[in-house]
Amino acid sequence: MIEPSIVRTQNALRGQVWEWRGYGETIAFVPTMGALHAGHLSLVNLAKKKADRVIVSIFVNPTQFAPGEDFENYPRAEKEDVAKLASVGCDLVYVPRKGSMYRAHHATHIKVGGVAENLETDHRPTFFDGVALVVTKLLNRAAPDIAIFGEKDYQQLATIRRLVDDLDMPIKIIGAPIARDEYGLALSSRNQYFDEDGLFKARQMNKIMYSCAARLSGGADIANGTTAAEKALIDAGYSDIDYVSVACAESLEIAKSGTIEKPMRLLIAAHCEGVRLIDNCAVNPA
């Protein structure tokens, strides 16, 4: 097992990228906030198939957390993360030094419209501004050929595709399927906040989601299907439902009623034992 090198400055990152480019090697980039689990590692495995070299960044990005969210308490485990990345053959881990991402004079903001509106933005109004900013900066610093993002954060993936296309960044964005535990729960760094009871409740979300998707694919009305799923979540012990929505798989335009006539996505965000969970799956016409 070869240990990945750890770099903490833009210059060291660029130097390594230039060296690889000099050998004609291609580079894949996987941005993360650390506290890595098998979902993150599946992105690295995909990255290894797509490029000669894989860079993973670990940065808990303050600008995507709203006041009162879990920025301070977000799990941080650099040593364990690096060991996990070594086990899957990551070449380089980029851990920007605290304070080096947003310097004192920082005054540039990025707002993505269209796909970044509604859904998450209705509940976390500044979230995608923070994501767009940090992803732009990380992509500028790493200058990869491709970057990999999980479908777990489906609206985020769509937002980054829009951003990269709109700003003419010469980087191919690749979506990776959602990694789940043996009960179907989408893996998340925040799952470690759950006790046993919370974990049991959390694992109901994907069952409710898939059964709703099956009903919708079978011709059920979207309003009826999503209302039934909301009720099922409450019955399963969820306290707040942020949304159970059906949206066009590409434009993310929300369909409030009617039946499924083209590839759509069912997206859910709800709170379970104080932890906000999101999940999504495809809903296709029968």
For ligand AMP, which is the closer residue by CB, 32 or 245?
Answer: 32
> How far is 60 from 82, CA to CA, in rounded Å?
15
Q: Mark residues 79-118: x for contact with ligand AMP by CB under 6 A, - for none.
A: ----------------------------------------
**135 forms part of the interface with ligand AMP (CB under 6 A):** no
- Rounded to a whole number of angstroms, the minimum distance from the CB of residue 148 to ligand AMP is 7
CA atoms within a 13 Å half-sphere pointing along the CA-CB vector of 50: 23
H-state helical runs in 51-170: 78-87, 120-123, 127-142, 154-166
Q: Looking at the annotation, which residues are catalytic?
A: 40
Please, are residues 112 and 165 in contact by the beta-carbon 8 Å criterion? no
Q: Which of 129, 153, 230, 279 binds ligand AMP (CB under 6 A)?
A: 153
Name the one range near ligand AMP by CB under 6 A: 67-75, 113-121, 174-182, 262-270.
174-182
68's CB contacts (< 8 A; 6+ apart) are: none
75's CB contacts (< 8 A; 6+ apart) are: 34, 35, 189, 192
**171 forms part of the interface with ligand AMP (CB under 6 A):** no
**43 forms part of the interface with ligand AMP (CB under 6 A):** yes
141's CB contacts (< 8 A; 6+ apart) are: 10, 13, 14, 94
**205 forms part of the interface with ligand AMP (CB under 6 A):** no
The pairing of beta strand 146-150 with beta strand 254-255: unpaired
Q: Phi and psi of 133, rounded to 5°?
A: -65, -50
> How far is 139 from 20, CA to CA, in rounded Å?
16
Distances 30 to 36, 47, 91, 92 between C-alpha atoms, Å: 12, 8, 11, 11
Q: Which of 4, 27, 28, 40 binds ligand AMP (CB under 6 A)?
A: 40
For ligand AMP, which is the closer residue by CB, 193 or 220?
Answer: 193
Kindly state the DSSP code that residue 180 receives in the 8-state scheme: B
- Rounded to a whole number of angstroms, the minimum distance from the CB of residue 157 to ligand AMP is 7
For ligand AMP, which is the closer residue by CB, 56 or 216?
Answer: 56
Q: Which of 17, 27, 29, 32 binds ligand AMP (CB under 6 A)?
A: 32
For ligand AMP, which is the closer residue by CB, 46 or 212?
Answer: 46
- Rounded to a whole number of angstroms, the minimum distance from the CB of residue 152 to ligand AMP is 4
Can you tell me which residue has the tokens 């970057």? Answer: 147
CA atoms within a 13 Å half-sphere pointing along the CA-CB vector of 9: 3
Which residues, numbered 234-273, are part of the site for ligand AMP (CB under 6 A)?
none
Q: Which of 46, 47, 82, 176 binds ligand AMP (CB under 6 A)?
A: 176
Q: Which of 51, 82, 116, 187 binds ligand AMP (CB under 6 A)?
A: 187
Q: How many positions of this chain bind ligand AMP (CB under 6 A)?
A: 17
**Residue ranges binding ligand AMP (CB under 6 A):** 32-33, 39-40, 42-43, 149-150, 152-153, 176, 178-179, 186-189
